[in-house]
Amino acid sequence: MANFNMLWLQSSGCGGCTMSLLCAESPPLFEQLSWQGINLLWHPALSEASGQEVQSLLSDLEQGRESLDLLCIEGAVAQGPDGTGDFSRLPGTGRSMMSWLQGLSTRANYVVAVGSCAAYGGVSAGGDNPSDATGAQYAGERLGGLLGEAFRSRGGLPVINISGCPIHPQWVLESLASLVRGEMTLQDLDELGRPRSYTDHLVHHGCPRNEYYEYKASAQQHSQQGCLMEHLGCIGTQAHADCNIRLWNGGGSCLRGGYACINCTAPEFENPGYGFLSTPKVAGIPIGLPTDMPKAWFVALSSLSKAAMPARLRENALSDHQLMAPKIYYKNKRR
Amino acid sequence: MTQRIIGPFSRVEGNLELRLQIKEDRVAEARVSSQMYRGFEQMLEGKKPIDALVITPRICGICSVSQSVAAARALADLTGAKPPPNGVLAANLVHACENLADLFTHFYLFFMPDFANPAYRNEAWYGRVAERFRAVSGSAAGDALSARAELLHLMGLLAGKWPHTLAIQPGGSTRSIDASERLRLLTVLRRFRAFLEKTTFGTSLESIVELSQQDQWHQLSEPETSDCGRFFALSRNLKLDQLGRGGNAFMSFGGHAFEGESLFAAGLYTDRWQPLEADAIAEDVSHSWMQASPPRHPREGATKPTGMDDNGYSWCKAPRLNGRVIEVGALARQSVNGNPLALDLLRSGGANVQSRILMRLWEMARLLLAMENWAELLVPGEPFFEAGLASPQDGEGVGMVEAARGSLGHWMRVRNGLIDRYQIIAPTTWNFSPRDADGQPGALEQALSNAPVRKQDDENPVAVQHIVRSFDPCMACTVH
């Protein structure tokens, strides 16, 4: 298990996935890596080595003079301008990240795309995608990307897409542990190449606003406690991630922070086709409904549950703090 | 004269490359190049104004809240939003938490590991210092990561998560907290204070913020018992106060205001304080890989990349204030703020590696004290957010804030309800700019000139690394 060689490269991204990874706790990041037997060959933000020394390491890895168990890619692959990849170069080498990533991927036992940019293009491919950014093995929802649909690393797996903007530190660390132990198989990845350990859940699961959702007690504006789905753009019922089960930064999540889930683990979340923070509707009904529920049922149930909404939820949904506490029911009604 | 191209440059945020002309044992001339371009300003065009809150934080994962605050301010400028007191306090806490975490991360994870560089292996202090500050495996890295992660619990409480929160909006904060959460907040701050006082400073935060002369600080922080003391000892040994001398024009957009009082003042400092003429900002693209254009104020600016042509050497533009090269960051911020310690440092050695690091450390103490105060002022049950802001249809908005690395500005124009122009100037764009049309080198290019190059580390001079990292560059922000 010892000496599992890991190289981490940052391509076209914001570095936020590394920053989030540094928030790993109990134990902290470097301790977790060391316990897992991971030998960090180089990470641009964290390693001592710079310049020539790194260039030699990269050529040794690319030429096969040193073994590469795991290549982690953070950030999208910029292919522009005009297919040159010059929008993102590996400094000092005169070569594009695109070209380095192609070369190193063929040498790696496993390739992990860390974050939605590396997985699918992410925000780096937003708008009209000025840098022609793509993911390592996907371009948005389409397979392909830099490495092509058929790519399998030497260990036999496609690129493992730990998507998210940013990633939760434990999504990455658990996936790495699974790879080091040789336990990760194709069955552990979902249709979009993401580890099912966190994408077999919906953001909706464990949402502290679930009681409001049940009765369609909706917030009218951000900061209110009601459900954010009906008016404020929340798509937590369609977003695959365990954000409300495995919490962030000691107990947070987007919904706990009072703002909508924008489904940042999904390909093309960066271009929703409407404003992020409002819910597009047709005839008053949100167009994005829970994926595995028939629309007619949803509409019927919503009107029923709205009618049954307790006063407590109606009051609290439109306030930024609790106005009515849940009522206490005594076992012995005649006290 | 020999030429060295240095890269990849580790422990800075993003893709930095240096081209150095070396004459004998000194850097004669430096060219600083940002090697990544994504095009955020173009991505924003045609989007709804409020979407800037989702997109701009993702320019940078290291100062994403600063980007978020700048976008929220630009939107508030457009809509006339006025967050309630709790909303201002919550935004201040979240923003200061990021600044503090940035300064802290820079010191422990990015800057200090340079002293474990094998170039120093023959120094008497090397063994002890390397054991403490070596990247990844040094004892300081482990200590710092735990403390940092716990400090960022404040983000879990007040911002949902970090980086890339949507909690900060023009109307205030989406996250109101109750009385018990406020107590948890105070506990988080208390715990981080304990780390800073015991491990980083070796003394109370109050005694740090009251310092007016560097000599007093030397006496407070013992080299054997605090990391700050260890830094002093190294700085004296390696004469870091003579390394990386900058120009003498400093700028700050100021900020962290509450009820009319700003923690940090805005302005320009040369040999004295002057008001900031924000209209005198212009971005020059003569040495950037951008379509030729005269220097423009960001209100009128455009971002039109070309391929890598011979006229340019960076994707970074060259912002100037009245044609002048400006340094930004903690030292600049505190000079503008009239901080006696900053002014003492400027008098004795100007902007240099030591003075930049010291003012970062000083700010950590100042920010934490301010955060404790803001947390005390929060009133659970009172609103955090102003309701009912209309989506802006037409107009212009400006958001100018201080990120940890210095002054950050967003200039937004809206037409028919959509973003029509969005220009951003980030702190490192000022510090790491290429030359301008007059041939003036950027702030780092100036600071690198004359840096010593020792024979044994001529491929990648350690002095150059200290200088670069003393600015704590964020290249992802720089070029966006």
> Which of B3, B50, B58, B420 has the most A C-beta neighbours within 10 Å, making it the best mutation to test the interface with A?
B58
Q: Tens digits of per-residue pLDDT, A240-260?
A: 999 999 999 999 999 999 999
A256 has a chain B CB within 8 A of its CB: yes
Listed by number, the residues of chain A in 72-131 with a beta carbon closer than 8 Å to a beta carbon of chain B are 78, 81-82, 84, 86-93, 123-124, 126-131
Are the C-beta atoms of residues A259 and B167 closer than 8 Å to each other?
yes
CB A47 within 8 A of CB B136: yes
Rounded to an integer, what is the distance from CA A296 to the centroid of its chain? 31
The structure tokens listed for B114 are 């340079």
The low-confidence residues of chain A, meaning pLDDT below 50, are 1
Interface contact flag, A222 B174, Cβ < 8 Å: yes
**Alpha carbon distance B166, B269 (integer Å):** 34
The answer to whether A12 faces chain B, any CB pair under 8 Å, is: yes
Residue A237 makes CB contacts below 8 A (sequence gap 6+) with: A202, A203, A204, A213, A229, A289, A290, A291
**Chain A residue with Cα closest to B475:** A14
Q: How far is A246 from chain B (nearest CA, A)?
A: 12
Contact A259 B160 (CB under 8 A): yes
Rounded Cα–Cα distance for residues B303 and A78 (Å): 17
Q: Provide the Cα torsion B95, B97, B100, B101; round to 10°.
A: -110
CB contact under 8 A, A165 and B161: no
- Tell me the residues of chain A between 13 and 72 that have a Cβ less than 8 Å away from chain B: 13-20, 22-25, 28-31, 40, 42-55
pTM of the complete model beyond 0.95: yes
The rounded radius of gyration (Å) of the Cα atoms in chain A is: 23
What SS3 state is found at A311? helix
B378 touches chain A (CB under 8 A): no
Chain A residues within 8 A of B290 when measuring between CB atoms? none
Interface mutation vs chain A, best among B3, B38, B173, most A CBs within 10 Å: B38
Chain A and chain B share a number of CB contacts under 8 A equal to 289
pLDDT for A2 equals: 58
Query: Three-class SS of residue B370?
Result: helix
User: B52-55: long-range contacts (C-beta < 8 A, 24 or more apart)?
Assistant: B52/B410, B52/B412, B52/B419, B52/B422, B53/A276, B53/A277, B53/B166, B53/B168, B53/B169, B54/A262, B54/A276, B54/A277, B54/B166, B55/A123, B55/A126, B55/A270
Q: Which of A46, A55, A126 sits opposite B135 (nearest CB)?
A: A46
Residue of B nearest to A320 (CA): B176
Retrieve residue B88's tokens.
């201002």
Q: Which residues of A touch B5 (CB under 8 A)?
A: 92
Phi, then psi, of A298 in degrees rounded to 5: -60, -45
Q: Are the Cβ atoms of B164 and A248 closer than 8 angstroms?
A: no
Write out the DSSP string of B241-261: GGSS---S-EEE--EEEETTE
Interface test with A, best of B4, B10, B291, B313 (most A CBs within 10 A): B10
Q: Which of B3, B9, B15, B195 to mutate to test the interface with A (most CBs of A within 10 A)?
A: B15
From CA B181, how far away is CA B168, in angstroms rounded? 18
Q: In the numeric block, which tokens belong to residue B398?
A: 């400006």
Give the span between the Cα atoms of A45 and A22, in whole angstroms: 11
Across the interface, whether the CB atoms of A249 and B175 are under 8 A apart is answered no
Q: Does B250 touch chain A (CB under 8 A)?
A: no
Contacts of A139 (CB under 8 A, 6+ apart): A120, A121, A125, A145
Q: For A251, which of B38, B60, B157 is closest by C-beta distance?
A: B157
Nearest to B354 by CA among B156, B217, B177, B202: B217
Chain mean position to CA B101 = 11
Backbone angles phi, psi at B305, to 5 degrees: -70, 145
Residue with tokens 């379509």: B291
Residues in A closer than 8 angstroms to B40, CB to CB, are 126
Which residues of chain B does A28 touch, with a Cβ-Cβ cutoff of 8 Å? 142, 145-146, 149
Chain A: residue whose CA lies nearest to B476: A14
Q: Which of A29, A43, A275 lies nearest to residue B48, judging by beta carbons?
A: A275
Using an 8 Å CB-CB cutoff, list chain A residues near B135. 46-48
For every one of its 480 residues, what pLDDT tens digit does chain B have, with 9 covering 90 and above? 899 999 999 999 999 999 999 999 999 999 999 999 999 999 999 999 999 999 999 999 999 999 999 999 999 999 999 999 999 999 999 999 999 999 999 999 999 999 999 999 999 999 999 999 999 999 999 999 999 999 999 999 999 999 999 999 999 999 999 999 999 999 999 999 999 999 999 999 999 999 999 999 988 887 788 999 999 999 999 999 999 999 889 999 999 999 999 999 999 999 999 999 999 999 999 999 999 999 999 999 999 999 999 889 999 999 999 999 999 999 999 999 999 999 999 999 999 999 999 999 999 999 999 999 999 999 999 999 997 777 889 999 999 999 999 999 999 999 999 999 999 999 999 999 999 999 999 999 999 999 999 887 888 899 999 999 999 999 999 999
Partner residue opposite B161 with nearest CB, options A127, A252, A260: A252
Closest-approach residue (CA) in chain A for B133: A48
ipTM of the complex: 0.97
CA distance B401 to chain A (A): 19
The span from the CA of A335 to the CA of A221, in Å, is 42
| Residue of B475, B410, B438, B413 whose CA lies nearest to B322 | B438
Tell which B residues from 25 to 84 touch A, by Cβ distance under 8 Å.
33, 35-40, 42-48, 50-51, 53-55, 58-62, 64
A84-87 LR contacts (CB < 8 Å, sep 24+): A84/B307, A84/B308, A86/B307, A86/B308, A87/A12, A87/A131, A87/A132, A87/B36, A87/B37, A87/B38, A87/B305, A87/B315
In this prediction, residue A1 carries a pLDDT of 47
The nearest alpha carbon in chain A to B94 belongs to A257
For B45, which residue in chain A has the nearest alpha carbon?
Answer: A127
Do A164 and A52 contact (CB within 8 A), yes or no? no
Residue A320 contacts B, CB cutoff 8 Å: yes
Q: Which residue of A lies nearest to B418 if distances are taken between CA atoms?
A: A275
Q: Do B13 and A15 touch (CB under 8 A)?
A: yes
The residue to which tokens 């204030």 are assigned: B321
Distance CA A69, CA A334 (A): 70
Residues of chain B neighbouring A30 (CB-CB closer than 8 A) = 136-137, 141-142, 145
Q: Tell me if B142 and A14 make a contact (CB, 8 A cut-off).
A: no
Closest Cβ–Cβ partner in B8, B54, B134 for A50: B8
Q: Residue B311: what pLDDT?
A: 87
A253 CB near a chain B CB, below 8 Å? yes
What is the overall mean pLDDT for chain B?
96
Q: Provide the token pair at A98.
A: 């695109």
pLDDT at A335: 62
How far apart are the C-alpha atoms of B394 and B391, rounded to whole Å? Answer: 10
**Residue partners of B145: CB distance under 8 A and separation at least 6:** A22, A24, A28, A29, A30, B109
User: How many angstroms away from the CA of A193 is the closest CA of chain B?
Assistant: 23
Packing angle between helix B462-470 and helix B353-377, nearest 10 degrees?
Answer: 30
Residue A131: closest C-alpha in chain B: B38
